[in-house]
Each structure stands twice: as structure tokens, then as C-alpha cells.
Amino acid sequence: MSFNFFLSKLILNILFLLSFNYVSKRFNLYDLPDNSRKIHKKKISLIGGFLFYFFCIIYFLSYLFGSIEVFFSFKETVSLFLFSSIFFCVGLYDDKFNLNPNTKLYLMLLISLCLITFNNDFSVKELNFSFTSKAIYLGNFSILFTIICFICFVNACNMFDGIDLQFGFYLIVLSVIFLSKGLMTNFYLGLLICTIFFLYNNYKKKIFIGNNGTLFLGFLFSFLFIGSYNKANVFFVDEIFLIMAIPGIDLIRVSILRILNGKHMFQPDNLHIHHLLIRKINTLQTNLLIQTSVILPILIYYLGINFFICLLLSLAIYLFIIFFVRGLNK
């Protein structure tokens, strides 16, 4: 990481620390407790996503002025910044006015479709796995599959932010994995600095990341996963699937429960795994269980263990946690 880039990141963190109270009050961006799904004791600022968004602005401007290189083309880099900015604005509007779940879903579909239309070579055209040399070619399903990937990843990230520290720890996992691939190291080191700074303030109950942060970062990482997969061949499909396994399994379970209860699949509630755990154990213990369930299968996969064994381990840990909570309820 260049000294100038590091210095600008440090200045950004200091400015954010000094100004987030003013911005929160100016735009009335607070999360209010409701003694149900939102169990915090006081109103808390929802501008955590601003920290990551402003970092990306600095990175994008550094790229435009030639001080930082990326492995994406100019068109793709502009697309990444433009469409992630739109997701940030959608999340910000949702934080302020509580978007209808259908409206939010349609907006996500439209934005993802516009992205792929603007970059018609960005869609996933084939699926490559670590356990076979044979690829699955998607043909006419390429665009649909890519849109589904975007929607699922963004919503899984959005739903995986339910208690203090949880999403921040997951961001560290994602950033470290991308750092290990050796691509855009300045960017991921900067994200790590942002995340550590956010985690400290989140732990102190000063800020939440907000929907502006989860939608922005969910889209950002979905773009980075697909772009890295398509252009650099540094990921396998099963590897990405395993990284997303716990948030994905929780998304599927909760969505099914909501539909069975006659609700919209993206209607907020308190059925997520973190909500179940936090009723019985404290925040740090809940995070320890959840992050272990995320990290352990990934770590074993990178040690060379078969993907299916790692996936079964993810599912087994998730089910163990569910039954563990039920056991505590007895």
C-alpha cells in the first residue's frame, strides 16, 4: 500500500470519526430499538456504510489519476463504481424510508440487468469446479444465472447483518480470502482498515453498518467474485459457494419459513440464526459460533479436503447450532 494512499485512508477514518454524529443527526439516520427484532437499548447511527463507500471513492479517484492499478478494464471499473453507488443509494433510501420488499427486489433485478447489459461480457458463461476438469456451459442461461448470483449474494449479506460485529467479522474473512489471491492488494488492505475501524465503533455501539453498507458491500463483493472468477480464474464455483454457505443456508431457511408464514421472503423478522442465538447467549459467544461455522469449512477446503465434505461440515455445524438453540429452549 502506497504511503499517500495509506495517509488518505487514515485521514478518512479520522474525518469519519469526527463527523458521523453530525451526519446522523442532520439526516436523522438512526436505528431505533423495538424490543423485538432490534434489541439494542438506544438509537444508533446507521452510517457505517459511508465509511466503506468513501473509501471506494478515494480508491476510484486514485485509479482515475493513475496512482493505483486494477485488473479490471476501465469500463468494468467505472461500472463497478457506478452500480455499487446506486446500490448504496438504494440502501440509504431503505434506511431512511423503509422500502417495500418487492420494490427493493425489483430495483436489485433492474440494476443487475443494467450492469450486465452495459458489460455484456461480464456474465458467467461456464462453471468450473475444483473436483472435476469438466466445465458446465450455461449458454442462454448465462445472464439469468449471473443476475441470480447478484441477487442471492446481496440479500445474503444484507440478512447476515443482524447483531453487533457479525457482518464486520465476515468482511474480514472475505477481505483476507481476496488478499490471498494476490489481486488488488491495496484495495483489500484498505477494506481491512475500514473494517477494523468499523468493528471498533460497532463494538462501542456507536454505529451500525446500515442497509446502505450491506447492499453496497454485498454488490461490491458479488462483482469482485464474478469479475475475479471470469477474468483471473482465481476462484472455483464450489469455492465461492462454500464461502457463502452459512449466509446462504440461513437465507434459504429463513425465506422458506417466511413464505410458509404467509410473509414476503425478504420481509425482516427475528428468525435468523443470530437472532435465535442472541436470546440465549451473549453477543461475543454468538459471533464465535457463527464465525467458526463460516471459517472452519473454508479453512479445511484450503487444506485440500474435498468440497462435498466441507459443504456437509457447513450444513452439520449450522444444524447443530439450530438444535443447540432448541435444546436451550427446553
Q: Whole domain around residue 167: which residue ranges?
A: 3-196+210-219+233-329
Evaluate whether residue 274 is within a structural domain. yes
Evaluate whether residue 105 is within a structural domain. yes
Evaluate whether residue 7 is within a structural domain. yes
pLDDT tens-digit readout, 177-230 = 999 998 888 899 889 988 998 999 999 988 999 999 999 999 999 999 999 999
pLDDT in tens, the chain (330 residues): 555 666 666 676 667 766 777 878 888 889 887 666 666 678 899 999 998 998 898 889 888 887 777 888 899 999 999 999 999 999 999 999 999 999 999 999 999 999 998 887 789 999 999 999 999 999 999 999 999 999 999 999 999 998 889 999 999 999 999 999 988 888 998 899 889 989 999 999 889 999 999 999 999 999 999 999 998 889 999 999 999 999 999 999 999 999 999 998 888 888 899 989 988 889 999 999 999 999 999 999 999 999 999 999 999 999 999 888 876 665
pTM: 0.93
Query: Hey, what's the cell of 142?
Result: 448465462
Say if residues 212 and 53 touch (Cβ distance below 8 Å): yes
Evaluate whether residue 202 is within a structural domain. no
**C-alpha triplet 272, 246, 32: angle, nearest 5°:** 35
How far is residue 154's CA from residue 330's CA, in Å, rounded to a whole number?
Answer: 35
**Alpha helix segments (H runs only) across 160-282:** 166-180, 185-203, 210-227, 237-243, 245-260, 273-278
Evaluate whether residue 158 is within a structural domain. yes
258-282: buried (b, 16+ CB within 10 Å) or exposed (e) per residue? beeeeeeebebebbbbbbbbbeeee
Evaluate whether residue 228 is within a structural domain. no
Query: Hey, what's the cell of 72?
Result: 479490471
Evaluate whether residue 205 is within a structural domain. no
Evaluate whether residue 275 is within a structural domain. yes
Say if residues 212 and 49 touch (Cβ distance below 8 Å): yes
Number of domains in the chain: 1
